Structure 1
Amino acid sequence: MVKLTLYGVDASPPVRAVKLTLAALNLPYDFVNVNLAGLEQLSPEYVKKNPQHTVPTLEEDGHFIWDSHAIIAYLVSKYADSDSLYPKDLLQRAVVDQRLHFESGVVFADGLRSITKPLLFFNQKVIPKERHQAIVEIYDFVETFLKDQDYIAGNQLTIADFSLVSSIVSLEAFVGIDRAKYVRTSAWIKRLEQLPYYEESNAKGVRELLAIIKQTNFSFAS
């Protein structure tokens, strides 16, 4: 049996996306917590595993993969019994890939990281007003993507759902989702919350992140 080890922290949305995928595939793995506050990710040992010193990092029999999108696509491609989570049909896969790139380039980069990095690592308590608007625009896009379909890339669960839900629910630490306005988004989140592994793989980490953010006493610039 191949041994899998995941390095990361539960509060990290990308780490949680990998945890959701591992759980969906029913793959056993060891989890190694990386002390980001203590800069453990910059240690020579960790940098040797992942030169970008990010989380998550997946170890498989001495081989290392980082970036959550690369990891979850790899896991499904190698270990899934079917292609439902990452379709082989090229058009369907293109839609999944687009959503993954949207999460990486827009939701995480423009939304989460642009706020959390200065807030948590540089002690900047006032968040620029445009970051609030960026989150609202993200919610608008997600609501549009979900028109006439149950999941983010169609009518079946895919790794795009795992990637996006981990970040979307984390954005609520800064701007709550208007349930009346974003009806489809709210229903999508509730649908994913029904997954038997959702609580352990995502919800627990979301609560940890929200608690960390709350302690910063941040505010948005007027």
Structure 2
Amino acid sequence: MVYFRLRNLFQGISWRCYSKNSISRNAMTNKLVLYGDEASPPVQFVMMAGSMLNIEMDFRHIDIFKAENRSDFYTKINPLQKVPALRVDGDVIISDSHAIAMYLCSISDSQNLYPEDPVTRARVNQLMFFNAGTLFPIDSLIFTQYFRGNWPPKKTKIEQWYSALDHLEYRLTNNRWLVNDKMCLGDICCATTVGSLQLLVPLLDRHVKLSAWINRIRQLPCFQIHLRGVQRLKAFVETSS
């Protein structure tokens, strides 16, 4: 049971929200609703992005630890029974954290997190795909093994994780942030994944730039969202040890 709850915990999230300043005229009459659990890194990612874009969202808590994502109520919202899920308008649902974050940027006047320049945007996308295809799957598998009692995890999986962190370290060689000298969506989504897994697998001494990068993100007001989520996840980790 713990395995299935955890697997659904780390699938991504979605919300409903609206912004007085950034949503299109037609969307102004519809409130965006986000369904999720703050313990999930993808949920944290979307919430942090929304906060930085000044987009208000009606957050509906779906308690993953109580398997509320498998309830009839939520299954009607997202048949995949995964969080997040963002209700945009009526029956229109967006159910992937990266897609939701890009949508929020598309309805915002500010493009600081998702620049319109084609090359820069492609590099931001590259980071988010790296999180979706590499970072998060490793994170999820390591947590799954922990909650199933298969601890420590296989050495190869830990090596893969540190190799992924080495890639992020390399990207910070000449920049303060992962794409250039300005923070973007890629920084936020990778930070929530890296920050969450530190509960089980800490950074190594060789990740000097990565550590400094995380400290810079800690200075953001929206980082409190990540901290609350990690504390919720930590409580579940401690009760399952």
Match in the other structure for 1:194? 219
Whole-angstrom distance in 2 between the partners of 1:94 and 1:210: 34
Distance change in 2, residues 1:118/1:33 (3 Å): farther
- Pick one of 134, 139, 143 that aligns with 1:116: 143
Whole-angstrom distance in 1 between the partners of 2:190 and 2:38: 16
Is 2:122 the partner of 1:97? no
Whole-angstrom distance in 1 between the partners of 2:128 and 2:226: 17
Is 2:61 the partner of 1:33? yes
User: For residues 81-139 of structure 1, what are the alpha-carbon distances to aligned partners after superposition, in whole Å with 9 as ceiling and x for unaligned?
Assistant: 23221111111111000100000010001x2111223443x454452222221221121
Query: 2:98 corresponds to which letter in structure 1?
Result: H
Match in the other structure for 2:79? 51
Is 2:210 the partner of 1:185? yes
Is 2:190 the partner of 1:164? yes
Distance change in 2, residues 1:176/1:126 (3 Å): closer
Query: 2:73 corresponds to which letter in structure 1?
Result: E
Match in the other structure for 1:149? 175
TM-score in terms of structure 1 length: 0.89
Alignment RMSD, CA only?
1.6
Please, which runs of 5 or more residues in structure 1 have no aligned partner? 218-222
Overall identity of the aligned pairs, in %: 33
> Once structures 1 and 2 are overlaid, which stretch shifts more, 56-65 or 13-22?
56-65
- Pick one of 77, 88, 97 that aligns with 2:116: 88
SS in 1 for 2:105: helix
Match in the other structure for 2:95? 66
Whole-angstrom distance in 1 between the partners of 2:39 and 2:81: 17
Whole-angstrom distance in 2 between the partners of 1:152 and 1:176: 20
Please, which runs of 5 or more residues in structure 2 have no aligned partner? 1-27
Whole-angstrom distance in 2 between the partners of 1:129 and 1:214: 23
Total equivalences in the alignment: 212
Whole-angstrom distance in 2 between the partners of 1:46 and 1:68: 17
Distance change in 2, residues 1:78/1:56 (3 Å): same
Whole-angstrom distance in 1 between the partners of 2:39 and 2:68: 16
